[in-house]
Amino acid sequence: MKRKIAAIFAADIAGYSRLVAEDEEETLRRLASYRLVTDDFIAKSGGRIFNTAGDAVLAEFPSAVEAVRCAIDIQESLRTRNMAYPPSRQMCFRIGITIGDVVERDGDLLGDGVNIAARLEGLAEVGGICVSRAVHEQVANKLSVQFADIGEQEVKNIPTPVHAYMVAMRREDGTYAPPQVKKKAPPPPTHATPSWMWPLVVAVVCLAAIGVGGFLYFTKLELPGAPKDSSLANNIASPSPPATPAPAPTPAPSPTFASAPPPPPPSPPSPPPPTSGEKFVAETVPFVPDRARTVLATEYASAPDYKALALNTNGVSGFAVGQPNEEAAKNAAVEQCQKRADATQLPRKCEVYAVGNAVVYAHGRPPVPPAPWIRHDPVTERPFAAKDVPIVREPGKARIENTYPPARKSKTLAIGPGGAFFYMLGLDSMEEAARRIQETCGAVVGVPCMIVAADDAFVVPVPTTLKAIGFFHADRHPSIATDARDDVARKLADAPSGWNAVAVGTSGRPGLALKANTEQNAVNEALGNCVKHDSDCHVIAIGPFAVGPN
């Protein structure tokens, strides 16, 4: 056994027992899908999962900053995935993080640091993060994160109170939701009346009623104290924290299977998993390079049974043909794929995609937006600069600056609505770079992503007059009057070029600018149209982005 100091992060699912009771099979399927996302974020942030139990995860990080960053990215990614489900079926994690002295034994970690992280997870809001004072001190000046001090908290099996902070989570519109501080149950009175005294009390009261009414002594009686808050985590585990969502390794080309860049394993909840009867078509296999599709078409599709194909979201794949049985084919394909994946910069878990000529991939097809994925518009296109990448946080922009500009073409950079970013570098063609980045980003984030840069240029209108805070969805934006949303969405869809802007006032009546030749003209026109039928107008969207003050 050895001791060490580590950032410990614990997470589990709020209301998991209820979710299982309502629909066990669907809950377990989604848990596996969500765990692929959380596990991958942890690995990319330098963390290590050292224990799991049911819906719970325990991980260690060498840095509190990376642990909190990872936790935020996980919560934002899962929040996006949960949008596909009604509130009663959403699967939300609570996360707790602390720094502590722990003992390592056979790869597992033990000690107060682990216990405190689990108790902090129990204090966290649903979909939120709670950290100890030690973590807050390490992170406060290094991440652009807002905290709410909830003071000393008495937690189960920890002798001294734990000073805790809630992390303010970013809403879809880019604003921050103030954490709701849980009220602590009042401590039990120090001199509660023992239960055996009640018969004596009753007797005395009776005597007082008969002969000594109003005897003041009996007004001093105290009732037993209320039980302490029991909402703490039932098991010492908690999901991994979200890390800066972007992967960005340069793909390592190989004659048959190029291992590509970024992100974590696929598992979007929105698309239904394919049926076992879906026919295998090499040209539609996701994630893999075009050259790998060619090999699959010539060497796998026509090969005899038993055969299987395995792949991961980085585009690594492996297949086996002519095996003695189906199980042997699946095992051989996964083993070959995993060996190739482990040799890359960012190894990812390989999974069976096809058995025989039938697709059996559990995660369905990754969500991608309608084509075209890249539009070149001389009015809005401008040279790429990492500092101007929308939505992404500053540490992510620094990583992009170090990796994306110097990489060779063809390359693409895509972002998700919560600020996750992914890039493909040095591919054979722009078409392949666009396809693979959309498939990978969509699989990880769970919703269609947006390609913001192709080679060395921004290919979407990137706002500079205001700050991009998320993707803009006119059909459900709360600031726009309900009866006007569909009309705004239709008009914007019919204006794919130039600068577009949307402004609203206190009544939610929109003012639009379409196909303007500059960003400033679009802003001025949208405000001018808004003030014609509303008051206190302000701009809420520029191009494809929701915007707020810089």
CATH of the domain at 67: 3.30.70.1230
Orientation angle between helical segments 64-82 and 430-445, nearest 10 degrees: 90
User: Looking at the structure, do residues 452 and 472 belong to the same domain, yes or no?
Assistant: no
Do residues 132 and 121 touch, judged by C-beta distance below 8 A? no
Last residue of a domain, one of 396, 429, 458: 458
User: Looking at the structure, do residues 17 and 136 belong to the same domain, yes or no?
Assistant: yes
Whole-model pTM: value is: 0.60
Do residues 462 and 325 touch, judged by C-beta distance below 8 A? no
For residue 259, the 8-state DSSP code is B
Distance CA 317, CA 305 (A): 18
Number of independent structural domains in the chain:
3
Within 10 A of 502 (CB to CB), how many other CB atoms are there? Answer: 27
Strand order through the sheet with 382-383: 382-383, 457-458, 450-454, 412-415, 421-424
303 occurs within a structural domain: no
Q: Which one, of 289, 316, 283, 252, lies nearest residue 432 by Cα? A: 289
Distance CA 46, CA 248 (A): 15
User: Looking at the structure, do residues 34 and 76 belong to the same domain, yes or no?
Assistant: yes
Distance CA 197, CA 102 (A): 46
Distance CA 360, CA 279 (A): 10
30 occurs within a structural domain: yes
Last residue of a domain, one of 435, 458, 481: 458
265 occurs within a structural domain: no
Distance CA 246, CA 437 (A): 11
- pLDDT score of 261: 37
Query: Which residues are CB-neighbours of 386 under 8 A, at least 6 positions away?
Result: 397, 398, 400, 401, 404, 405
- pLDDT score of 171: 60
Last residue of a domain, one of 144, 177, 210: 177
- pLDDT score of 212: 38
130 occurs within a structural domain: yes
Orientation angle between helical segments 64-82 and 24-44, nearest 10 degrees: 150
The residue ranges of the chain whose pLDDT is under 70 are 170-277, 346
66 occurs within a structural domain: yes
113 occurs within a structural domain: yes
User: Looking at the structure, do residues 440 and 477 belong to the same domain, yes or no?
Assistant: no
Phi/psi at 396 (nearest 5 deg)?
A: -65, -40
Do residues 502 and 488 touch, judged by C-beta distance below 8 A? yes
- pLDDT score of 347: 73
User: Looking at the structure, do residues 13 and 126 belong to the same domain, yes or no?
Assistant: yes
User: Looking at the structure, do residues 142 and 37 belong to the same domain, yes or no?
Assistant: yes
Distance from CA of residue 431 to its chain's centroid? 27
* Full residue range of the structural domain in which residue 398 is found: 382-458
User: Looking at the structure, do residues 441 and 488 belong to the same domain, yes or no?
Assistant: no
425 occurs within a structural domain: yes
Do residues 517 and 433 touch, judged by C-beta distance below 8 A? no
- pLDDT score of 201: 47
256 occurs within a structural domain: no
- For residue 176, the SS3 value is strand
- For residue 455, the SS3 value is coil
User: Looking at the structure, do residues 76 and 150 belong to the same domain, yes or no?
Assistant: yes
Do residues 535 and 506 touch, judged by C-beta distance below 8 A? yes
> Which pair of tokens denotes residue 469?
């805070």
Distance CA 17, CA 10 (A): 18
Within 10 A of 430 (CB to CB), how many other CB atoms are there? Answer: 17
Encoded amino acid at 74, one letter: I
User: Looking at the structure, do residues 12 and 122 belong to the same domain, yes or no?
Assistant: yes
User: Looking at the structure, do residues 76 and 152 belong to the same domain, yes or no?
Assistant: yes
Cis peptide before 410 (omega within 30 of 0): yes
User: Looking at the structure, do residues 429 and 543 belong to the same domain, yes or no?
Assistant: no
User: Looking at the structure, do residues 69 and 172 belong to the same domain, yes or no?
Assistant: yes
